[in-house]
A and B are shown apart, each in its own frame.
Chain A
Amino acid sequence: MEIAVNILLTIATAATPLLIAAMGELVVERSGVLNLGVEGMMIMGAVGGFGAGYLTGSPWIGLLVAVAMGAVFSLLFAFMTLTLATNQVATGLSLTLLGLGLSGMMGTSFVGQPGERLPNLDIPGLTSIPVVGKLFFGQDPVFYISIALTIAVAWFLFRTRTGLTLRSIGDSHTSAHALGIPVLRYRYLAVVFGGACAGLAGGQLSLVYTPQWVENMSAGRGWIALALVVFASWRPWRVLGGAYIFGAVWIGQLHAQAFGIPVPSQLLSSLPYLATVVVLVLISRNKRLTMMNTPASLGQPFVPDR
């Protein structure tokens, strides 16, 4: 039982960054913008979060800086694709490339330094309850943020008027514009929200998951988050499910490596990436269903005619 709980806890820690980053990207894509820069914003959040935590000694400040870092970095993307109407695929890619370079440069002096870890929740009386106590009342703060985020995004998108407006922009920006909705303003906010989420996910990596700075420590998680959004057919609760499946794959291969299963460790390490491909194949097979779920103006630049 103890082992099962511990495995569940590690899965949650591995799933949380995927969940948060994918949830942010989900909102961005629902507004009709495809931001391929998740990996770059995430790694910027990771380096900013670690750096601020390391320099101030407070992992909480680190977490805030991580969020701010992702949000500010995403503004660059927003300005390019929304104000200047550049190609979203290419701009997103360049955001990732720039983020990987910039974070590497900023993090040079952090390599090998011991980091600050966000403390786990500890509620007297509740956390010590066997089994459920640790699962529900003893995890790191970012875990609870990720769950709250999922609920909030699901509620916002499908239960509020603003959420409905956001989705309508994603489905047809021209119609939304004709109705007098400020398309670009909504999209700016969505992109920055996505950036803040990616930054938070990065902060989780360098402040909770492995409290240290390693170059390229996001290791493709930003890309997996992008795949998760497709996998979840742009629905928040399915993102949650998908993130935990991928968290399980990630942890499963680590455990398998630790147990010394007679399979090359590199093969096990490549499982999350192979799983992403397989999942994408399974989910995209039905062309009509995919088309129905995809926000119709996803990736299309929009220049309002005035």
Chain B
Amino acid sequence: MRIELVKRPQRSVLFSALSPFIAFVLTIVAGAILFALLGVNPLTAFGIYFIEPVSQVWQLHELAIKAAPLILIAVGLSVCYRANIWNIGAEGQFILGGIVGSIVPVMFPTLEGPLVLPLMLLLGMVGGAAYAAIPAFLKTRFNTNEILTSLMLVYVAQLFLDWLVRGPWRDPQGHGFPQTVQFNASAILPELFPSSGRANWGFVFALVAAVLVWILMNRVLKGFEVRVLGSSPRAGRFAGFSLGRMVFFAFMLSGALAGLAGISEVSGAINQLQPVISPGYGFTAIIVAFLGRLNPLGIVAAGLVLALTYLGGEAVQSALGISDKVARVFQGMLLFFVLGCDTLIHYRIRLVGFGASRIEEAR
């Protein structure tokens, strides 16, 4: 038997809407097989993985904390990917945002007042955008492949943060732990509803960013430019759009959002810098962007789903003793299935038996 693709006359609206859900169902099926292989009853495992982590109000707060950086980063990445520009170094831009934004509370720990936090957030965005500008510059000036350069810079950023918190920025009163001073109260992103859980303003930033980018992409000329250059660079050139400027725009926008996510995470959830500040948000956000169909509003939903995979991973680790890497497996499978299901938008799938093909050959 063979699988053949038959082009649809126009894209299927039905599958365009359905494909993330089909992908999710397929992931669940594959996940059930995985759990069964690990010797765990799939139903029990799914209960612990997907239901338990969101069964209480404070847990919903944790979900928002995990979802905020994913949504923020993915919304920016969606602009890049729509423009056919492949920024996969958001993890590094996230880290640089965290570092640059922390300049204020680490170097001036006594500074207080209502301006500290806005300044930190602004610096975080600047840091992320500046770091993203490097691959953009190399691409436009030297024609360098942005996939590889942006990824290499992730490793550099991780090592840079490691050096900072073990070296010049280490808290002298930290008993030798590799970490900076604890931020003072005015450098900490406030909680939204302190009475019920820890969720902070980062989640609001994520929602606002999603709405703004949706408006940008659907109601503003610049968004049209992104889509034209993404689907046909040649047509874009004839329309007078500059690909070089678009590369900078997309990279710096996504870098700024990743940087904002970074400083929000550091300020709101960690309250200091540590050698590692991200459990791979920058990479998981790539999955979020695709699962959300590169649409900012879809990304909000996808971000919540992927945040749940993180919480579920932690839950099965503590309850069943399965490695929390299971979360990464779920995330990877989800992206696989979503990409596979997306084929259905443009193609019909035809199964061809050996008999049929032999008849065709005979003709």
Contacts and interface: CB of A to CB of B under 8 A. Distances in A.
Interface of A: 36, 76, 80, 83-87, 89-91, 93-95, 97-102, 104-105, 108, 219-220, 223, 226-227, 230, 264, 266-267, 269-270, 273-274, 276-277, 280-281, 284-285, 287, 290, 303, 306
A219 B152 CA distance: 11
Q: Which 9 residue pairs are nearest across A and B when measured between Cβ atoms?
A: A101-B328, A98-B332, A104-B325, A266-B163, A94-B335, A266-B159, A105-B325, A101-B329, A273-B152
A290 B148 contact: no
B5 interface: yes
Contact of B343 (A84, A98, A270): A84
Interface in B206-256: none
A98 B335 CA distance: 9
B145 A93 contact: no
Contacts of B336: 76, 80, 91, 94-95, 98
Given A85-B347, A102-B329, A230-B145, A306 B156 contact: no
A284 B323 contact: no
Contact of A270 (B5, B159, B326, B339): B159
Interface of B: 3-5, 7, 86, 88, 138, 142-145, 147-149, 151-153, 155-156, 159-160, 162-163, 167, 283-284, 286-287, 290, 322-323, 325-333, 335-336, 339-340, 342-343, 347
B329 A223 contact: no
Contact of A89 (B86, B149, B160): B86
Nearest to A184: B2
Contacts of B327: 101
B339 A104 contact: no
Contacts of A91: 336, 339
A87 B342 CA distance: 10
A104 B153 CA distance: 23
Most chain A beta carbons < 10 A, residue from B148, B156, B160: B148
Given A90-B290, A94-B287, A101-B331, A287 B143 contact: yes
A97 B325 contact: no
A98 B144 CA distance: 27
A284 B329 contact: no
B147 A108 contact: no
20 contacts: A80-B336, A80-B340, A91-B339, A95-B336, A98-B329, A101-B325, A105-B322, A105-B325, A108-B323, A227-B148, A230-B145, A230-B148, A264-B163, A270-B159, A273-B153, A273-B155, A276-B148, A280-B145, A281-B142, A284-B144
A285 B5 contact: no
A70 to B, nearest CB: 16
B340 A84 contact: yes
Most chain A beta carbons < 10 A, residue from B7, B287, B335: B335
Contacts of A95: 332, 336
Contacts of B340: 80, 84, 86
Contacts of A219: 155
Given A97-B287, A277-B148, 8 more contacts: A98-B336, A101-B326, A105-B323, A220-B152, A267-B159, A270-B160, A285-B142, A287-B143
B75 to A, nearest CB: 17
B323 A80 contact: no
A302 B116 CA distance: 54
Nearest to A269: B159
A267 to B, nearest CB: 7
Contacts of B152: 220, 223, 227, 273-274, 276-277
Given A266-B163, A277-B138, A284-B143, A86 B342 contact: yes
A90 B335 contact: yes
Contacts of B3: 83-84
A223 B148 contact: yes
Most chain A beta carbons < 10 A, residue from B156, B335, B336: B336
